[in-house]
């Protein structure tokens, strides 16, 4: 009876560990950024290129971004350990994007609220369910939130 109980306990522990690892792999698969390109009401090629630049950083695991005229709004998500160095990551990401687009105004934030808002905007741009005026208004609000 003891041997049977020990076997069941070992099996359940192993099953829990393996299912936890499976969930980690699912999270890692969802890290591909949404590239919109020229298919939106406003060309998003600059934002797509900026996302690629920021995503190439080792600390960044996911990124969202939208561009409007000469403004590029970027929100990366970093690994848990690297959250201790957010200021340096923001500066490095900003510098990399600014080097590629020197005439554009870059807004980069690691705030989760900004990340979620840009994710919504990306989805709406992809589905073409937002007007240019609404986009301008929401980006102005985001710009204010990013400044403080």
Q: In this structure, is the dihedral angle defined by the CA atoms of residues 114, 119, 120 and 121, taken in order, positive or negative?
A: positive
Whole-number pLDDT of residue 27: 43
CA-nearest of 3, 142, 5, 2 to 74 is 142
Q: Does residue 31 have a pLDDT over 90? A: no
Q: Does residue 113 have a pLDDT over 90? A: yes
Q: Does residue 33 have a pLDDT over 90? A: no
The mean pLDDT value for 51-80 works out to 91
Each residue's pLDDT tens digit, 80-108: 888 888 899 999 999 999 999 999 999 99
Beta bridge partner(s), residue 74:
65, 108
* Among the ranges given (4-8, 31-35, 90-94, 104-108), the one the predictor scored with the smallest mean pLDDT: 31-35
The mean pLDDT value for 67-89 works out to 89
Q: Estimate to the nearest angstrom the gap between the alpha carbon of 59 and the chain centroid.
A: 12
Three-state DSSP class for residue 77:
strand
Cα-Cα-Cα-Cα torsion 110, 71, 46, 85, nearest 10 degrees, comes to: -20
CA-nearest of 61, 35, 59, 32 to 47 is 35
Each residue's pLDDT tens digit, 122-133: 898 888 888 889
Tell me phi and psi for residue 40, to 5 degrees. -100, 175
Its pTM stands at: 0.74
């Amino acid at each position: 009876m003891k041997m049977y109980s020990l076997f069941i306990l070992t099996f359940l522990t192993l099953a829990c560990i393996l299912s936890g690892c499976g969930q980690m792999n699912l999270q890692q698969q969802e890290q591909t950024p949404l590239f919109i390109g020229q298919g939106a009401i406003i060309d998003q090629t600059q934002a797509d290129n900026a996302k690629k630049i920021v995503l190439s950083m080792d600390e960044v695991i996911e990124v969202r971004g939208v561009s409007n005229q000469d403004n590029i709004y970027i929100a990366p998500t970093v690994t848990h350990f690297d959250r201790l160095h957010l200021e340096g990551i923001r500066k490095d990401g900003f510098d990399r994007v600014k080097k590629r687009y020197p005439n554009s105004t870059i807004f980069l934030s690691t705030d989760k609220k900004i990340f979620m808002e840009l994710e919504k905007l990306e989805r709406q741009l992809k589905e073409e369910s937002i007007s240019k005026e609404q986009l301008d208004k929401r980006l102005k609000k985001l710009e204010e939130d990013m400044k403080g």
